[in-house]
């Protein structure tokens, strides 16, 4: 079986460092590549072009975490032939939690906050109540690696309404939904089910940062999806 390579697109931080626990849980035989984003103010078209430039020659299974769902949708609208299937994890096509997003620009401009965010906030909205000090610090470090202006600009992209009318509906899609997601409502998966002819939704117990807190469970699901690409080839 010649399964397609797995290409992972990171969440809001764009660094890719938060995939470490997931990569460790995936089998070494699986070809996995993380595409990090430049620490620059880029729009969705520019981010999608950056990803496209780094894709391998053969078709891939694209995994888009949270913010990167917007990038993946933009990429699909322009280069769907390069993608075998796409896995959305806690993703959204329209602004989630609009009231919370109103506070986002203010918080993102408070530079030191990314490095010293209160643990109770990170646990409540990101990592769940069982998050330990190492996990909290890893998240803080990833966020601190992004400039304040870039973080604010990405949050502005999250808060903006986008048109994804050209997204091809025939690309197989999968959606991993966290049962206790306080950032992205469960209803956000509905958009993907309505847009794609085939979109399987699998709910996994955990917070928004599902890949970081439930890496083994997620790895099993992801591996199963990637193996399908080999059977369909």
Supply the range of the domain harboring residue 122: 6-232
- Within-domain flag for 82: yes
Contact (Cβ atoms closer than 8 angstroms) between residue 184 and residue 66: yes
Closest of 22, 6, 105, 17 to residue 62, by C-alpha: 6
**Whole-angstrom distance, CA of residue 210 vs CA of residue 89:** 8
Strands (E), 10-105: 32-34, 60-65, 83-89
pTM exceeds 0.85 for this model: yes
**CATH code for the domain of 49:** 3.40.50.1820
Average pLDDT of the residues in 13-18 = 95
- Within-domain flag for 192: yes
Would strands 83-89 and 60-65 be described as parallel, antiparallel, or unpaired?
A: parallel
**Whole-angstrom distance, CA of residue 19 vs CA of residue 36:** 11
- Within-domain flag for 1: no
Adjacent-strand bridge partners of 85:
61
Number of domains in the chain: 1
Contact (Cβ atoms closer than 8 angstroms) between residue 86 and residue 61: yes
Tell which wins on pLDDT, 99 or 146: 146
- Within-domain flag for 109: yes
- pLDDT per residue as tens digits for the range 164-187: 988 999 999 999 999 999 999 999
- pLDDT per residue as tens digits for the range 34-91: 999 999 999 999 999 999 999 999 999 999 999 999 999 999 999 999 999 999 999 9
Whether residue 104 is predicted with pLDDT greater than 80 in this model: the reply is no
């Amino acid at each position: 079986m010649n399964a397609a390579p797995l290409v992972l697109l990171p969440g809001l931080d764009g660094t890719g460092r938060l995939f470490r626990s997931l990569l460790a849980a995936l089998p070494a035989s699986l070809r996995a590549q993380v595409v990090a984003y430049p620490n620059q103010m880029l729009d969705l078209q520019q981010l999608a072009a950056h990803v496209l430039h780094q894709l391998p020659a053969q078709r891939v299974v694209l995994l888009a975490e949270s913010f990167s769902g917007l990038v993946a949708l933009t990429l699909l609208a322009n280069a769907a032939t390069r993608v075998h299937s796409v896995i959305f994890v806690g993703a959204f096509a329209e602004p989630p939690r609009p009231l919370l997003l109103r506070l986002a620009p203010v918080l993102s401009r408070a530079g030191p906050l990314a490095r010293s965010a209160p643990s109770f906030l990170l646990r409540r909205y990101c990592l769940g109540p069982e998050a330990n000090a190492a996990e909290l610090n890893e998240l803080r470090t990833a966020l601190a690696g992004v400039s304040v202006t870039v973080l604010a600009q990405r949050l502005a992209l999250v808060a903006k309404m986008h048109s994804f009318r050209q997204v091809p509906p025939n690309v197989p899609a999968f959606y991993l939904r966290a049962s206790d997601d306080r950032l992205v409502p469960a209803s956000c998966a509905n958009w993907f089910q309505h847009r794609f002819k085939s979109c399987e939704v699998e709910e996994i117990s955990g917070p928004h940062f599902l890949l970081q807190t439930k890496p083994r469970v997620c790895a099993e699901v992801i591996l199963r999806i990637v193996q399908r690409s080999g059977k369909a080839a």
